[in-house]
A and B are shown apart, each in its own frame.
Chain A
Amino acid sequence: MSETPSTSVSRPEERCRTEQRALTGFGRTAPTIARVTEVHDASQVLDALRSAGPRGITARGLGRSYGDPAQNAGGHVLDMTGLNRIHSISANPDGSGGSVTLDAGVSLDTLMRTALPFGLWVPVLPGTRQVTIGGAIAADVHGKNHHSSGSFGNHVLAMSLACADGTVRTLTPDGPESELFWATIGGMGLTGIVLRATIALHSTESAYFVVDTDRTENLDELLALLTDGSEDRYSYSAAWFDTTSTGAALGRAVLTRGSLAKVDELPKKLQGQPLRFSAPQLLKFPDVFPSGLANPLTLRAFSELWWRKAPKRQRGSVQNITAFYQTLDVFADWNRVYGRRGFLQYQFIVPLGAEETFRRIVEVIAHSDHASGLNVLKRFGPGNEAPLSFPAPGWTITVDFPIAPGLNELCLKLDEMVLDAGGRHYLAKESRTSAEAIRRGYPRLDEWRKTRDAADPEGVFTSDLARRLELVAP
């Protein structure tokens, strides 16, 4: 797609702003310096690949991974957010969904808003919409509806990948390059740079959900609700749970489950514009917070409030996606609340049947000196065939810890418990585990490495994450 030619005489390379910058993930930890170039079209990406130096190249989207996959110490980082055009979108006439072809730098937020007027819904939306298509593919993001719709990669019909040799390959899930396709899904950007993708979309009558809420007194009650068969009635399900309460109240939770609303399920006043979406931004946090604001005391207070404010039992409440599960998108830059020391997010999965381990992990966290406010628990459905994809049938927990002394020891203990139970960690959230933990958690890692190394023998594509976890040979 060519841009409207500008009337000034600026040369294309001048539009590619490059600067030396410190980069971090969303946890604002482990900064490293890289040369960051903003790219706006595919040819600029290929130019950058041609001139890749010894420290390689990393693509970066909106920087919502918590650790270091989108930074490259001493190397080159391409800011892909300027590659952001939606090329085509169409809904099937029979209401069976549709598809969209778009650049890798488009955000899920933009895609969702663009798709709604067509009666189309993004099939997988993670906890924030501030994620690019490329990022969603690289992390194989999952959402509250994983048990019914799988992860993002399940819905990618095709993608164009810029490879290390300067070629652009079109990959499909079951075509001749399907191995490279599935290595790219969840591949954390290490197989190449996604330029464009075609994504399948679902049909929807409205931008709202019909939601049932249950507040449980403890973890056992929550697990019971998640295993009594009621999960199958909802396409979206996830729980917030308390990591500060102990004893009989261990893991008390608020479980919110729902499905996209049909027009006749909406209250009269919304039926006129069922596909309308408005997500106000209440507040953009300034960078003034001291470290230590989020500590066990304040988090215990927050957890108490959050649990109490939920209804014990509510049925059929109509909510938009922000209220239903992307609550934090209302606060821009909320990660600043953790102060300069930053925080880390710990997300793992343990397989079905490992509920005892799961319970012990919640106990260990609750009894530690580290508290977390933003805790999510979900039961995953079947995984896909991508070797580095994180979701698999089982239980996933996500917790946030402010960086504080002793945190590493706690995480090491949790690592052992997760791995011993046959679980693994999510690379998009991960920021401090070991290469060994990834080897143990992802049995198909070697298979992935072979595909990756075949596509990129010189190691052009790398990142701090890749170096730290030994995903790419140095």
Chain B
Amino acid sequence: MIDAVGNPQSILLLGGTSDIGLATVERFASDRPMRVILAGRPGPRLDAAKARLEQRRCTVQLLDFDARKPDTHADVIAKAFADGDVDVTILAFGVLGDAEQAWTDSDLAIELAEVNYVAPVACGVALARQLKAQGHGALAVLSSVAGERVRRSNFVYGSTKAGMDGFFSGLTEALRPSGVHVTIVRPGFVKSKMTEGMQAAPLSVTPEQVAEITVDAVRKHKELVWAPAPMRAVMSVLRHVPRPIFRRLPL
């Protein structure tokens, strides 16, 4: 249950090895031990994450979760909720892929669509059902400014983010009467394992900074936030730049 000062007791991270996801869980657990469920692909990264959280006196449960298998998602989520209410759920998995290969290689395009759009939708439906039944809870999803206005330089990725962003916007309204709060976080460029080797764009942030914004937004029931906050204004301008100019911008 979430207490009077907004502290949750339990948290589920879908995308158990996501840098942003783990930073967010660690930030929630910074002042009290929590029950954590990490759902991700088994391996050393997941184990290391578990160990780190256990050092903070959290109890950690690992669940196998493969974003590319949407028909397993409902089961994974049911398992996550089997031991009691889950107060905060975070959806932080995704794949970036090589932008040029993404629109020339069907398999990669399909993978991006499946992992970044289909899987979040499947998880969203299952999470909505569980959270609605428990009469309270928060769902935080990591979207991206790349979906806010899709651009030539990574449009396959951008389109998948646009899709999942739209789904969760609608879900925010659908879940409103159920006492469940949805928060969509739109980061700009994040210096993480996903962007390793890439040149950082302006206004880039670290996973910890995104985590700070996410935790704050969840606590305050904010529905849509950008990381860093000024990205909101930047995107607002970019969204309205006419196409002939937009296509020439070095984005």
Residues on the B chain within 8 Å of A403, using CB: 4-5
Residues on the B chain within 8 Å of A126, using CB: none
Task: With A55-B133, A408-B5 given, name 12 new contacts (CB 8 A).
Answer: A22-B179, A29-B3, A29-B4, A31-B179, A33-B135, A73-B134, A73-B135, A74-B136, A342-B4, A403-B5, A432-B4, A474-B83
**B9/A74 in contact, CB under 8 A:** no
Residues on the A chain within 8 Å of B135, using CB: 32-34, 55, 72-75
User: How long is the Cα–Cα vector from A31 to B85 in the complex, in angstroms?
Assistant: 15
**B31/A408 in contact, CB under 8 A:** yes
How large, as a class, is the contact surface on chain B? Answer: 20 to 34
Please give me the 9 A-B residue pairs with the lowest Cβ-Cβ distance, nearest first. Answer: A74-B135, A73-B135, A431-B4, A33-B179, A29-B4, A468-B1, A432-B3, A474-B84, A32-B136
Asked if A329 lies at the interface with its beta carbon under 8 angstroms from chain B, I say: no
List B residues 174-189 near A (Cβ within 8 Å): 177-179
Chain B residues packing against A (C-beta within 8 Å): 1-7, 9, 31-32, 83-85, 132-136, 177-179
Given A33-B179, A408-B31, does the pair A467, B85 have CB atoms closer than 8 Å?
yes
A-B contact pairs, 20 of them (CB 8 A): A30-B2, A31-B179, A32-B136, A32-B179, A33-B135, A33-B177, A33-B178, A34-B135, A72-B135, A73-B1, A73-B85, A74-B133, A342-B4, A432-B4, A432-B5, A464-B1, A464-B136, A468-B3, A474-B83, A474-B85
Residues on the A chain within 8 Å of B7, using CB: 408, 432
Asked if A344 lies at the interface with its beta carbon under 8 angstroms from chain B, I say: yes
List A residues 27-51 near B (Cβ within 8 Å): 27, 29-34
**A467/B31 in contact, CB under 8 A:** no
User: How long is the Cα–Cα vector from A20 to B132 in the complex, in angstroms?
Assistant: 12
Q: How many residues of A contact B (CB 8 A)?
A: 31
Residues on the B chain within 8 Å of A103, using CB: none
**B4/A33 in contact, CB under 8 A:** no
Quick one: CB contact mask for A436-474 with B, threshold 8 Å, 1 for yes? 000000000000000000000000000010011000001
**B9/A468 in contact, CB under 8 A:** yes
Residues on the A chain within 8 Å of B6, using CB: 30
List A residues 291-347 near B (Cβ within 8 Å): 342, 344
Task: Name the residue on B nearest A342 (C-beta).
Answer: B4
Residues on the B chain within 8 Å of A33, using CB: 135-136, 177-179
Residues on the A chain within 8 Å of B4, using CB: 27, 29-30, 67-68, 342, 344, 403, 431-432
Asked if A407 lies at the interface with its beta carbon under 8 angstroms from chain B, I say: yes
Residues on the B chain within 8 Å of A74, using CB: 132-136
**B134/A407 in contact, CB under 8 A:** no
Given A34-B135, A73-B135, A434-B32, does the pair A467, B1 have CB atoms closer than 8 Å?
yes
**Which of A34, A68, A73 has the most chain B CB atoms inside 10 A of its CB?**
A73
Asked if A409 lies at the interface with its beta carbon under 8 angstroms from chain B, I say: yes
User: How long is the Cα–Cα vector from A20 to B133 in the complex, in angstroms?
Assistant: 12
User: How long is the Cα–Cα vector from A408 to B177 in the complex, in angstroms?
Assistant: 28
**B134/A55 in contact, CB under 8 A:** yes
**A344/B5 in contact, CB under 8 A:** yes
Residues on the A chain within 8 Å of B85, using CB: 73, 467, 474
Residues on the B chain within 8 Å of A412, using CB: 31-32
Given A32-B136, A33-B136, A412-B31, does the pair A73, B5 have CB atoms closer than 8 Å?
no
**B136/A407 in contact, CB under 8 A:** no
**A30/B179 in contact, CB under 8 A:** no
Residues on the A chain within 8 Å of B32, using CB: 412, 434
User: How long is the Cα–Cα vector from A112 to B84 in the complex, in angstroms?
Assistant: 42
User: How long is the Cα–Cα vector from A342 to B3 in the complex, in angstroms?
Assistant: 12
Residues on the B chain within 8 Å of A31, using CB: 136, 179
User: How long is the Cα–Cα vector from A409 to B7 in the complex, in angstroms?
Assistant: 11
Residues on the A chain within 8 Å of B9, using CB: 468
**A467/B84 in contact, CB under 8 A:** yes
User: How long is the Cα–Cα vector from A195 to B177 in the complex, in angstroms?
Assistant: 32
Residues on the A chain within 8 Å of B1, using CB: 30, 32, 68, 73, 464, 467-468
